[in-house]
Amino acid sequence: MSKAQETGQYTGTEDKDYNVIWFTEACLGNALRMEVYRRDAERSGDSELVEFFGRAQAERRKGAEQAKVLLARRLIGEAGNATPTQS
């Protein structure tokens, strides 16, 4: 299976925005996980790991923020392109 062939037949959705939503959730979940790991490292007195997991957490937050901006821009653009329906 080529990456270019996934158009919803496997996932049930061909909505590219869904992929951005999933990515955002994954980044936020990983940021939370990095906080747990960072605190574990703090409790054990491992400053190298505290710093490592802190940087990793910051990168996950950055990815989530970028994805949220991208998603908002796409959804606003789609809303602006919608045609009103007549009743």
Q: Please report, in tens digits, the pLDDT of each residue of the chain (87 residues total).
A: 455 565 666 666 667 888 899 999 999 999 999 999 999 999 999 999 999 999 999 999 999 999 999 999 988 887 767 655 554
62 part of a folded domain:
yes
Domain total of the chain: 1
29 part of a folded domain:
yes
Nearest C-alpha neighbor of 41 from the set 55, 59, 53: 53
Q: Are 31 and 61 in contact (CB under 8 A)?
A: yes
- C-alpha span between 72 and 23 (Å, rounded): 14
73 part of a folded domain:
yes
Compute CA 8 distance to the chain's CA centroid, rounded to the nearest angstrom. Answer: 19
Question: Helices marked H in the chain — which ranges?
Answer: 16-44, 47-81
3 part of a folded domain:
no
Q: Are 73 and 26 in contact (CB under 8 A)?
A: no
Q: Is the pTM above the cut of 0.85? A: no
